[in-house]
Amino acid sequence: MSLLTPELLANIGRESEPKREIVTRRDIRKYAIATNNPQRKYLDGDEAPPMFHVPLFWDVVELEQLSPDGVSIDPLLPKFPLHRDMAGGLEIEYLNPIHPGDWLTSTRTLTDIYEKKGRSGPLIFYEVIMEIHNDDDELVIREKMTRILR
């Protein structure tokens, strides 16, 4: 018997509201220093280093709005019958550089939900693709995240 109901699978294709953020030289510099990235172009804030985009679009929420493990509850995702969340993979394509002053817009899409049998029971996988565009409508980053629930 599958854990994936037709109602749950109907969420495939669901998109988040676009989020728009400005990139600042100061934020680039802070990120480069925090991640110990020694390249001068990052330390000077001339270009954003890899992974800079990850926290850029995180929601800023009060502590009461976090799950017990300290993560913001993702409104894109449906309520799954399994709750233990694990990383399943991350693929990132960097297509254009990010510079200070760039306005970036991200949109996330739930692209797949599927089930597999694990040694300790059923597993649910879901995939979310995030696309980030600049104000010239150029695709800057495409990220595919896979998560596993058990």
Fold held by 6-149: Thiol Ester Dehydrase; Chain A (3.10.129)
Looking at residue 126, what is its pLDDT?
A: 98
Looking at residue 94, what is its pLDDT?
A: 97
Name the burial class of residue 41, with classes exposed (0-12), middle (13-18) and buried (19+) by CB atoms within 10 angstroms of its CB.
Answer: middle
Looking at residue 8, what is its pLDDT?
A: 97
Looking at residue 129, what is its pLDDT?
A: 98
Alpha-carbon separation of residue 78 from 19, 32, 82 (angstroms): 20, 35, 11
Closest CA to 147 of 101, 89, 61: 89
Looking at residue 148, what is its pLDDT?
A: 96
Give the pLDDT of the chain (150 residues) as one tens digit per residue. Answer: 789 999 999 999 999 999 999 999 999 999 999 999 999 999 999 999 999 999 999 888 888 888 777 778 888 999 999 988 899 999 999 999 999 999 999 999 999 999 999 898 999 999 999 999 999 999 999 999 999 999
Cα gap 73→82, rounded to integer Å: 15
Show the beta-strand stretches assigned E in 23-138.
85-94, 103-118, 121-134
Q: Where exactly are the structural domains of the chain? A: 6-149
| Single pTM value for the model | 0.90
- Residue bearing tokens 């058990």: 150
